[in-house]
Structure 1
Amino acid sequence: MSGPLKGIRVIEIGTLIAAPFAARVMAEFGADVIKIEAPVNGDPIRKWRKLHEGTSLWWYLQSRNKKSLSVNLKSAQGIALIKQLAAEADVLIENMKPGALESLGLGWDVLQEINPKLTLVRISGYGQTGPYKDRPGFGAIGEAMGGIRYTTGEPGGVPARAGISLGDSLASLHAVIGALMSLLRVKTGQGLGQVVDVSLVESVFNLMESLVPEYDLLGHVRERSGGALPGIAPSNTYPTRDAGYVVIAGNSNPIFKRLMHAIGRADLADDPAFEHNDGRVQQVALLDAAIAGWTSLHGMEHVLAVLEQAGVPSGRIYSIADIVADPHYQARDMILSAQLPGGVKVKMPGIVPKLSDTPGEIRWQGPALGAHTVEVLSGLGLDEAEIRRLQQEGVVQ
C-alpha cells in the first residue's frame, strides 16, 4: 500500500453508508481498513440499490480497498478478537446507536485502556449526548432536522430530497476530518487518542450558511427557491430552446455586466441600480425574465458557447450519462475501469481529492464476505488450527 495514510490501521464497525463511506475514503489514501461484518449476510448494503449477479454495485464501490473480517459480535470470543485488533489500531469507526458499543463491552473506557492512542470515531443520528441521542437516526432525518430539506424544492412546494444519501455522506466527510485531526494530535506527540462525535443532523446543519444570524437578527426564514440562489442575483436555472436547462451564475459585479452584454441587454448592464448585488436582488424577477427570454430563443450549445466566450460561469445539468461521457471527467481520472468477480468490467468513480505526491489508489473492489478473515486473524498471531476452531464454532466466517 501507498498513500499519505500508509501505516494507519482503521477498524470499521459500521453498516450501510456513514461509517463505511468514511472508512472507504481513508482506505483510498493508504489506510489498512479492516471491515467487521456479521456472519452469513454481512453489511446490508451488499443487497442495496442495483444488483449484479446478486451483489450490489454500490457495495463494490463503498468497500473498495477494505479487508472483510466476518466476526460474530454476539460471542465473547468475537469481542475478544475486536479488542486484539483495537490494541494495534489507530482508528475505530462505528455508526451504531449510542450505547450499542458499550453493550458489547467495547465502550470508550475499555478501548482507551486497551490502546490509549486509539481514536474512536462515532457517527450517529443526533450525537452521543443530548435529549435525542437515543432516537434512531438515518441520513434522511439528518437532512430534515439539519435544515437542508426545508430549503430544497420549488417555492411553496413539498420539501425535496437531493436524490442521494446526502446526510450520511456529509457525516462521513466530517468523520474523516475529525479522525485526521485526532491522528495528527497523536502522531505529533501532542496528546493521546480521543472520541470524535459526529452527528448526522449537525453535519447537515454545518453547511447551512448564514441561516442562524439571518433568523436571529432579521427574523428571516430562508424558504425553498427552486433553482435560484436567494439573496444573490442573478443565479438561476434557465430554459433553452431545445428543452434543456442551463445554470447561469452571473452574480458578481463584473460577471453581471458581461452577462448582460452577452444577451444583448447593455441597458441593464449600465443601469446604476444593478451595479451591486443588493440592487440586483431587489429586481431579481426582472433580471431572470431577461435572461430566460434570451436563453429560450437559443439551443443549449449556442447558449454555452456565447457565455463561455463572455467569461460567464454556466453549465448544462448533467445526468450520469452526461458525466460518464464528459471528456473533462475522463481527463481527470474521475471515471475509472474496474473488474468484478468473473472478469466483468465496469466503470467506477475516481478518487477525490487529487494529491500531487501521494495520490489515492484503488487496489481492489468490495470483497466477498469474510474474504480476509484468515489473513487478519493470522496477523493477530492465531495459527491455522485456532482459526479453523473459531470457524467451526461460528465465531468467524
Structure 2
Amino acid sequence: MSDRDGVGGRGETGAEGEVAELCRDLIRIDTSNFGDGSGPGERAAAEWVAEKLAEVGLEPQVFESAKGRASTVVRIEGEDRSRPGLLIHGHTDVVPANAADWSYDPFSGEVADGCVWGRGAVDMKDMDAMVLAVLRDRIRTGRKPPRDVVLAFLADEEAGGTFGARFLVDKHPDLFEGCTEAIGEVGGFSFTVNDDLRLYLIETAQKGMDWMKLVVDGTAGHGSMINKDNAITELSEAVARLGRHQFPIRLTKTVRAFLDEVSDALGIELDPDDLEGAIEKLGPIARIIGATIRNTAQPTMLGAGYKVNVIPGQATAHVDGRFLPGFEDEFQAELDAVLGPRVRRERVHGDRALETDFDGALVEAMAAALKAEDPAARAVPYCLSGGTDAKSFADLGIRCFGFAPLKLPADLDFAGMFHGVDERVPVDGLKFGVRVLDRFLDAC
C-alpha cells in the first residue's frame, strides 16, 4: 500500500486530517538520545515544532540548554485568564534504534497496516503530534481554551530531563507561572476487557528513579596467577544477587485502586497471596502493572578490564533502580543489604516518586472526554513503572497526570512498544486522541 494510505481519510480536515502526517514528519527527525551527549540533539525538532506553532500565529520560544539540546515553549491565552493555567508537556527525544532489527526504517515514518511506524511513535511523538494538531486547529478556528494553556516540547526526557524540563524549571520557571495542573505521558490508553468495557489508564503516580553505578575495587595482577581479590568476581556475584533479588510486594494507594478496578471489571477476586497471578491476566499491560507492586533494580551495564591477561583493579556496573512512592528509604537499605559491604554505590541520576489522588475537575474532564468518544470507556488510575518530566514540574507545585489518549486494538502489545522494536501507533488511535483532547480542553 502507499505510505500515505490511511493517513487522512477522504474529506477529513482539521486536527484529524493532519495528525498522522505531523506524527510522521516528527518521527523523520532523528532525535536519538544516547545519554552521553553524542546524539543529534533536539534542535531540529524544536525548530520544526516552533514553525508549526508560528504558522497559526503563535509566538513560540526555543530554549537551548547546551549545543543542540533545545526545547520549545508557548503560552496560549485562555478565555478566562484569572483561572490557573494548564501545562501540556511532551518530549521530542527518543531512545536509539537499530534499523536492521525493524520491519520498517525506524526514522521513515512509514504507514502500514493502519499504523504509523517509527521510533517515537508511542514514546512520545504521537502525543506531540496530537497536541500540535488540536491546538493548531483551535487557533485557526478561533476557539480559545477556557484557561491559559502552556505547551512545552522538551529535550532529554529519555536521559532524565537534565537538558530539558529540569533546565527550564530551574532557569526559566516564569514560563509556567500560574500553572497548577499538567498532562503528559504515559496514560489515557485503553485496555480492552470486552466489547462493552475498556479501561483507560490515567497515570496518577510514578515510581522514583535511582540510576546508579556500582564499583568494586580489587587487587590488580597478572591473569595467570591466583588472585583472591578479583574485582570482577566480587562485582559479578553482587550483580547476580541483585538481578535475581525479588523486592517485597508493597501496595500504594494508586496500585490498590487500580487492582480494585480490575477485579471489578474482570469479575475476579484478587488473591492477596497471588497478586502476580492476577496481573498476568492483563495481557499486554501486565509488564507495566507488574513492575508497580514492588521496588525494582535491574542491572543494565558491566565494565572492567582492558587486556585478557591483566586482572583489573576495578570493576563497574550500572543499575536502573526504581522505587515506589513512600518506599525510597526501604529501597536504599535493601540495596545495601543485597549488594554487601564491598560494593560502592554512586548515583548517576535520581529523582523523586510522585503520587496524586484520582479526583477533581481535571480527572472528571478526562473521564468525560473519553466516555464521549468511547461509550465503553471507564477511566481508572494507575502507577507508571518508569518516570517522566512530571518529576521536574512537580517541583513547581504542579499536579501532574499522564494523559495521552489512545484507543488501541485489544491485541496490540502496547507496553512492548516503549523502547522496543517495531514501535507503531494506529492512525485511528491518533484521530481518536485528537477528538478526546479537544473535548478535554473544552471541559477543563
TM range (shorter): under 0.3
Q: TM-score, normalised by structure 1?
A: 0.26
Ranked by relative contact order (alpha carbons within 8 Å, sequence separation 6 or more), the top structure is 2
State TM-score, norm by structure 2. 0.24
Q: Computing the radius of gyration over CA atoms, which structure comes out larger, 1 or 2?
A: 1
Higher helix share: 1
